Structure 1
Amino acid sequence: MHPTGLRVLIGADTFPPDINGAAFFAERLARGLAGRGHDVHVACPSDTGPARTEERDGYTIHRLRSHAIPFHRGYRFCTPGAARTAAGAVLDRIRPDVVHVQAHFGVGRALLATAARRGIPGMATNHFMPDNLLGYTPFPRWLKDAIARWAWRDLARVYRDARIVTTPTPRAAEVLAGIGLDRPAQVVSCGMDLAHYATPERPADRPMSVLFVGRLDEEKNVDQLLRALAPLPHVRADLVGDGTRRRELEDLAAGLGIGDRVTFHGFVPDGELVHRYAEAGVFCMPGTAELQSLATMEAMAAGLPVVAADALALPHLVHHGENGYLFEPGAITTISRWIADLAADPDARARMGEASRAIVARHDIDDALAAFETRYRTLLGVPAPAVLDHAA
């Protein structure tokens, strides 16, 4: 460990092999901080059930005993009592300088509360949007809305134990202010490895394809993209990801008569994902519950113009007419129009793709890691790197 490194405990209620933006960010944060010389630990629900500890990429993962979520078997959770017990044990064993949680659920709330009682500074980064969870439930809309209101109030209560709260975008900070968070949330981008997704210039005569990357779930609104493609016989679509709506979307594509122009790739390895970005002509994000949208940032780093819903944080990334186009959620005719315009104008695609690269440049992962390091040291009252005593 670097002599100026901090001992950081990241609390994550979702972590790989889970596939979602919050899990990917927590993994990138852990790996990035470890690469910068910090002693990094992650506490998260076990992906198999029993507790275990493992080493990966220079950091330690403490997987806590967990149970399957009844309405979403792909994810697991820690019960409140078990989370509190495990949080105390992990804090005793690790003795972190800082606790940084990624959610207000079982692991996050237990770590924040226990750390606060012991005088260990804690901070929280919010990735939560109710639609990203409630879309998996069979509840009627009125009940989902009631649960969402309760969940926001619960988040505000839990985050009182965090001395600093961050969120990825200004719009996400506005959301937290609107639900009654007791202090302004600080905006820190999740960041990404821009160079990893950089691609060479695309040939202008390449067949036109629209790419979507993400979960095939309700709040992503992928059905709108498929309906928008129906009147565009010269355009095909590549959908990367899986989810609860995949079969329904496959049936929709067949019913629209575009099944031969739509490829469902499922989840793909990282190398193939980079290839998909390189092969695409346009990226489309119709989701309406994006606090930042890592997939959109990846597409921009790959030099793609973006057609996106004018919702939540997407307008922070997509500047209408500059690096793509925005549409009112559900405006299928408008989606078709923007895709058709881009399909017909390779020069516009190239120009907007370069604008995407320029806009996303401010979200480099190294800048994000430095911003979090600054906040850790602020919590500790250490304005510059300093040697900390980690004697057992």
Structure 2
Amino acid sequence: MLSAHRHTPPRRILIPTETYAPEVNGAAKFAERLAAGLAARGNEVHVACPSATGKASVSTEDGVTVHRLTAHRWPLHPTWTICMPWETKPELSRLLDSLQPDVVHTQAHFVIGRYAFSESIRRGIPVVATNHFMPDNVRPYIKAPKSLLDGGTAMAWWDLRRKFQSADFITVPTQLAADLLTQNGFTSPIRAVSCGIDLDRFAHLSEVENSPAEATPPRVLFVGRLSAEKHAADIVEAVAKTDPAIGLEADIVGGGDQEEPLKELAEKLGIADRIHVLGKISDKQLMEAYQRCTFFCMPSTAELQSIATLEALASRKPVVLADAVALPHLVRDGVNGYLFPPRDIDVLADRFTSICTMTEAALDTMSQASLDVVAKHDIEYTLDTFESIYAEVIGDDLDSRAA
């Protein structure tokens, strides 16, 4: 399901990001797929990101030159590494001087992103900025009184506005995410550009003849970072509230500080044999998990899109999503799945039961509708859009350059 993208002259693009492979989260996956996709189109693509080992290094991955900057483990999060300003500024400055990119496409405004803004602008390099940040992603990891957290949240929004509005072009994954920025004081134009996924990669799953109704037992799948704001525990509690005769099981994929608490909760509720906390798994195992499940659930209250949900839709699966932030954008309630009020375990259990007790024909109709929803999120359309944005901020006349 590829778009006929325009053949543009190659550009040198630097993508600064605060999270990248081997980290597994939406922002990291987006940066990875964006970089690889742009490189496959003939662009010279460089990524600047924190080093997972802490030591600076350079490597080539999927045609992308990855510059891993000096970093340190952040004690408030189980997997994140962060860069220090006094180390990052000179490293990034040297990188910009060496590469002289045509455009910088930053994915955040923290340490690497902060200097990507200031140092690129100082050199007259156009900056495109994509926001994946919400204060709610960080709040669970900061132990402080609510009044201080509220003040910190307001400050975080102020800082985000100040940095992002210095960019030449701002994007977010969905229109709901754009509206959220506007509600929090943004006055610059903001364009919604889907993170996108490679629909061709999931084509074999969408064409599988085995319908989800034939799965024995029925399975609900969660894929994501196992951190507090994702609320994967709500899935465990909802499974416990379903009729044992249904036999619903859950596969929970991802790493984070909630892995052991989820297992403990399943044990406490007496359903440890039905809850499978799989941790981080390979791409092949992930594809098998999508194929194996009956439906997908994302109970998070802090999603600006959700690549895992897009992948589930592309795998021809119904979805059950929290009615929060951008998730409603990916479900037509009652058509390709259901919404539920965030944190309402009783309603969530009812939604699980509804899908598990559908006829095969009804479930197949709902599954097919997921393909209709995801059709407009092909990564090729995303790459087309960003290449046109780069041309705009660079000031390219594409037709004259391509001639």
Normalising by structure 1, we get a TM-score of: 0.95
Residue 141 of structure 2 aligns to a residue whose secondary structure is: coil
Match for residue 4 of structure 2? none
Could you say what the CA RMSD is over the residues aligned between the two structures, in angstroms? 1.5
Deviations 1:206-250 (A, max 9, x none): 221111111221111112111111132121111111211121111
Match for residue 308 of structure 1? 321
1:134 to 135, 139, 150: 139
Structure 2: 5+ residue stretches without partners: 1-6
Residue 49 of structure 2 aligns to a residue whose secondary structure is: strand
- Counterpart CA distance in 1 for 2:248 and 2:145 is 36
Residue 211 of structure 1 aligns to a residue whose secondary structure is: strand
1:341 to 348, 354, 371: 354
1:104 and 2:109 are equivalent in the alignment? yes
Contact residue 195 and residue 301 of structure 1 kept, 8 A: no
- Counterpart CA distance in 1 for 2:341 and 2:131 is 25
Contact residue 282 and residue 349 of structure 1 kept, 8 A: no
**Residue-pair matches, total:** 387
- Counterpart CA distance in 1 for 2:291 and 2:145 is 41
Match for residue 81 of structure 1? 86
Match for residue 381 of structure 1? 395
Residue 221 of structure 2 aligns to a residue whose secondary structure is: strand
Match for residue 180 of structure 1? 185
Of structures 1 and 2, the one with the larger relative CO (CA 8 A, separation 6+) is: 2
1:120 and 2:129 are equivalent in the alignment? no
Deviations 1:138-190 (A, max 9, x none): 33443333222211110111113211000000110011111212312111001
1:73 CA displacement: 4.4
Which amino acid counterpart does residue 328 of structure 1 have in structure 2?
P
Residue 325 of structure 1 aligns to a residue whose secondary structure is: strand
Contact residue 192 and residue 364 of structure 1 kept, 8 A: yes
Match for residue 201 of structure 1? 209
- Counterpart CA distance in 2 for 1:235 and 1:308 is 17
Identity within the alignment, % = 45
Match for residue 372 of structure 1? 386
- Counterpart CA distance in 1 for 2:147 and 2:202 is 41
**1:12-31 matches, cutoff 5 A:** 12-31=17-36
Which amino acid counterpart does residue 256 of structure 1 have in structure 2?
L
Normalising by structure 2, we get a TM-score of: 0.93
1:349 CA displacement: 1.9
**1:124-273 matches, cutoff 5 A:** 124-198=129-203, 199=205, 200-203=208-211, 204-207=213-216, 208-232=218-242, 233=244, 234-273=247-286
Which amino acid counterpart does residue 244 of structure 1 have in structure 2?
D
Q: Which stretch has the larger CA shift, 277-286 or 175-184? A: 175-184
Deviations 1:336-372 (A, max 9, x none): 1111111111322211111111110100000000100
Match for residue 330 of structure 1? 343
Which amino acid counterpart does residue 231 of structure 1 have in structure 2?
K
- Counterpart CA distance in 2 for 1:46 and 1:386 is 40
Which amino acid counterpart does residue 43 of structure 2 have in structure 1?
H
1:351 and 2:360 are equivalent in the alignment? no
Match for residue 280 of structure 1? 293
- Counterpart CA distance in 2 for 1:380 and 1:210 is 46
Contact residue 4 and residue 385 of structure 1 kept, 8 A: no
- Counterpart CA distance in 1 for 2:60 and 2:258 is 35
Contact residue 46 and residue 66 of structure 2 kept, 8 A: yes
- Counterpart CA distance in 1 for 2:79 and 2:304 is 22
Contact residue 170 and residue 187 of structure 1 kept, 8 A: yes
Which amino acid counterpart does residue 110 of structure 2 have in structure 1?
F
